[in-house]
Amino acid sequence: MAIAVPGGHINVWLRPAEGGGATAVLVHGLSGNSRWWTSVIDHLPTGLGIIAMDVRGRGLSTDAPSPFDLTTVAHDIVRALDHLDVERAIVAGYSMGGWVAALFGVDHPDRVDRLVLVDGGLPIPNPEGGTAEEIIDAMVGPSLRRLEIEFDDPEAFFEYWKSHPALTAHWDDAMRAGLGHELVDRGSGHMVRANPDAVRVGAEEITLGVRPNEAGALLEVPTHLIVVERGTLDQPGGMIPLEVAERATAEVECLTMEYLADLNHYTLVLGAGAPAVAAAIASSG
């Protein structure tokens, strides 16, 4: 479904709520799209309404206009809710979407039932002494470089993901449904359906942006944070380090935390972590 924004539109995947029940807004990560939530959606109650965003510059919103900053992306949630006559929603954000959800919670608390931050939304400790470029590359370089790859065909794309350090030991063909939506045929080859400028802005915001990284400490709405044992390359430590999550939980009254061992940043939503993420979204509080 197309949602109007100034100068263009964004796309959302919609499943209306049954009987006037609750609705969940799902916001994906840096270079993903709405279908990254496929495995999570499969575990959500069938009556729960779902608005899965393709945020500006990704998926079917690739041609959406700038600005691409996360505050604007958070306001696009308001546009979607208004367009669909949804007053309040559960807002779940994965990875970059966690920072978007936190900003939404700060700027529009009256539209929030609950927030679920899925390994995102709190400040990331950056390497000391590094330049801005080095910091961004260290945190999200592989995601940015994936946008430059031209794959011969869809199978070459899936082989890329099968060999990814985070998925090689966990690959399941069910992951194709979540990942395949991001691929588009450019004629000479297949590439990820994303605007590099939008992804670059998102990378800058989550690593260096002051306002996105302050939002988590300012939340006053019920918020549940999920963190994992391992990161984007299956290395120790998730996107949000456990010590950062524990400190935030102690300091922010409305924040609760859940730590999931034996999962990495990608298997959290694409693989074995999907049922736990769905349970957090569907929880009554």
Across the range 233-246, mean pLDDT stands at 94
Q: Given the DSSP bridges, would you call strands 8-15 and 2-5 parallel, antiparallel or unpaired?
A: antiparallel
Q: What is the pLDDT of residue 36?
A: 96
> In which band, very low, low, confident or very high, does the pLDDT at 91 lie, cut at 50, 70 and 90?
very high
Tokens encoding 52? 């899965």
> How far apart (Å, rounded) are the C-alpha atoms in residues 222 and 90?
10
Across the range 176-186, mean pLDDT stands at 89
Provide the residue range defining the domain that includes 265: 2-282
Across the range 157-165, mean pLDDT stands at 95
Task: Quote the number of domains for the chain.
Answer: 1
Residue 277: partners with Cβ closer than 8 Å, 6 or more residues away? 40, 43, 92, 94, 116, 118, 226, 268, 269
Tens of pLDDT along 194-221?
A: 999 999 999 999 999 999 999 999 999 9
Looking up tokens 């524990």 gives: 246
> In which band, very low, low, confident or very high, does the pLDDT at 285 lie, cut at 50, 70 and 90?
low
CATH of the domain at 204: 3.40.50.1820
Q: What is the pLDDT of residue 251?
A: 97
More confident residue, 139 or 269: 269
Helix (H) or strand (E) holding 75: helix 70-83
Tens of pLDDT along 95-110?
A: 999 999 999 999 999 9
Closest by Cα among 38, 88, 43 to 59: 38
Tell me the CA end-to-end span of the chain in Å, nearest whole number.
29
Looking up tokens 């730590």 gives: 259
Q: What is the pLDDT of residue 284?
A: 59
Closest by Cα among 251, 73, 129, 156 to 65: 73
Tens of pLDDT along 136-160?
A: 887 778 878 888 999 999 999 999 9
> In which band, very low, low, confident or very high, does the pLDDT at 129 lie, cut at 50, 70 and 90?
low
pTM of the model as a whole: 0.96
Tens of pLDDT along 45-82?
A: 999 999 999 999 999 999 999 999 999 999 999 999 99
pLDDT at 132 over 80: no
DSSP state of 34: G
More confident residue, 128 or 202: 202
Q: What is the DSSP string of 54-73?
A: E-TTBGGGTTPPSP--HHHH
> How far apart (Å, rounded) are the C-alpha atoms in residues 190 and 173?
19
Q: Give me the torsion for CA of 5, 2, 274, 191, rounded to 10°.
A: -90
Q: What is the pLDDT of residue 181?
A: 86
Q: Report the half-sphere exposure of 196 (CA within 13 A, side-chain side).
A: 9
Closest by Cα among 232, 234, 258, 235 to 245: 258
